[in-house]
Amino acid sequence: GSTACSSHPLWLLAESLGAECHLDYSPDCTTHLVAGMANTSKMLAAQADGKHVVAPSWLQACYLRWG
């Protein structure tokens, strides 16, 4: 559930960089989608809406550079 997600290292990493994390994709709120797998429904929706779809390694690289 959301408790397990909110304690995941990538979730915590994103929050440490100032992100507001959510489990659900919302075109009105989501700016970036961290996708661990390709072609999921969330990923395809985010791409169709022109959102930034990034890999977990991108989030880690951001932390190394700006964290």
Helix (H) or strand (E) holding 54: strand 52-54
Residue count of the chain: 67
pLDDT digits 0-9 by tens, 4-61:
899 999 999 999 999 999 999 999 999 999 999 999 999 999 999 999 999 999 999 9
Put simply, whether the predicted model's pTM sits higher than 0.75 gets the answer: yes
Domain borders along the chain are: 2-66
Q: Give the contacts of 12 (CB within 8 A, at least 6 positions apart).
A: 6
Cα 57 from Cα 10, distance rounded (Å): 10
Q: What does 8-22 look like in DSSP terms, one character per residue? A: SHHHHHHHHTT----
